[in-house]
Structure 1
Amino acid sequence: MGVVETLTSRNADFAASGFSPDLRLMPKLKTIVIGCVDPRVDPNAVLGIAPGEVGTLRNVGGRVTPALLHEMEMLRKVVQAGGGDIGPGWEFVVLHHTDCGITRLESEPEMLSEFFDTDQQHLAEQAVSDPRASVAHDVAALRNDPRVPGVRVSGLVYDVATGRTETVVEP
């Protein structure tokens, strides 16, 4: 059986026993988790998140980039169109992790500069090789972005060797 057949078979099981038509577009916990695409660090599994509780945005490194901020702006417009807003009462959790694949790109400054939309002279500010420093950097970026006012932001680092998270930046 191929991957697509395996996944659609699992979907049939989900539709029969795990699907809930009562889930809403707005996350129950009014929270968005920003994390890495690394399959070892699935935010739902790592943080025990149930379906419908949070929204999740994932990219390489779980980084707050200009593209991610634009995506957040789009999400806010979606929420506003539904009569709500992303602002006070909402939380963002930035989740970085140890042994992140983005660190393997340090020899690719052109690629990283494009990803972060910065020149190579300022690339060191992104703290690509240090998950604690990078999560603090990204939390500060979110806290200072006017497109998401009044949102509580925290930063966690997940250790892929132990399965534990560490709160690096308190909300």
Structure 2
Amino acid sequence: MTDTEDLVRRNAEFADQRFAPDLRINPSGNMMIVGCVDPRVDPAQVLGVRHGEAAVIRNVGGRMTPATLRTMAMLGKVGQANADGRCPGTWNLVILHHTNCGMTDLAPFPELLAEYFEIPAAELGEKSVSDPRGSVRVDVGVILGVLHADDFLVSGLVYDVTTGRVETVVPETPLR
């Protein structure tokens, strides 16, 4: 078990060797990644994202739920409040799902999933819960249906937990 003492020791190492006091609240890479909480799939590690380069939202399945959309809206307001620290240019929203996701283990619990997605249980089939390629397409579709910005791209990737490789399922698509 990793205990608090170990975490404090690791933090001291981080503070001494890798801490970057000049980072700003807005990501330097104009990137936001939505990924799963699965410890095998740390989006920054999997995609080689540097510290401060992206805002990363993690939830069960890396899904685009109403709660995720609310979080994104809040982050947008934080970004606006700190506009002087924003890098100019296009933003990249990356939706990262993965193989062998624990969300598939929740398929026998439609009431729980319906609550998570804030939809009637009868509509769960449309969420493609057991198929990472299908679910990433669904979630890109959700974003394309709600966000409208000229300076935003959205893409959908699937990480294979057995090979460590990422597959582009939905290439960068501009929002309109």
**TM bracket (short chain):** over 0.9
The structural deviation recorded for 1:83 is: 2.3
Alignment of 1:15-26 (within 5 A): 15-26=15-26
The one-letter code matched in structure 2 to 1:43 is: P
SS in 1 for 2:146: coil
Q: TM-score, normalised by structure 1?
A: 0.94
Q: TM-score, normalised by structure 2?
A: 0.92
| Equivalent pairs, count | 170
* Alpha-carbon contact 1:76-1:86 (below 8 Å) kept: no
Q: Which runs of 4+ in 1 moved over 6 A?
A: 84-88
The structural deviation recorded for 1:82 is: 1.4
The one-letter code matched in structure 1 to 2:18 is: G
The structural deviation recorded for 1:6 is: 0.6
The one-letter code matched in structure 2 to 1:17 is: Q
Identity %: 51
Find the counterpart in structure 2 of residue 112 from structure 1.
Answer: 113
The structural deviation recorded for 1:86 is: 10
Q: CA RMSD in A?
A: 1.8
Find the counterpart in structure 1 of residue 161 from structure 2.
Answer: 160
The structural deviation recorded for 1:88 is: 6.7
The structural deviation recorded for 1:68 is: 0.4
The one-letter code matched in structure 2 to 1:29 is: G
Q: Unmatched 5+ residue regions in structure 2?
A: none
Deviation readout 1:21-43 (Å, 9 max, x if unpaired) = 11111111100000000000001
Find the counterpart in structure 2 of residue 99 from structure 1.
Answer: 100
Find the counterpart in structure 2 of residue 7 from structure 1.
Answer: 7
Q: In the alignment, is residue 136 of structure 1 matched against residue 143 of structure 2? A: no
State how far apart, in whole Å, the 1-side matches of 2:104 and 2:2 are: 32
Sort the Cα spacing of 1:152 and 1:161 in 2 relative to 1 into closer, same or farther, 3 A: same
Deviation readout 1:46-97 (Å, 9 max, x if unpaired) = 0011101111000000000000001111111111111268997111000000
* Alpha-carbon contact 2:28-2:87 (below 8 Å) kept: no
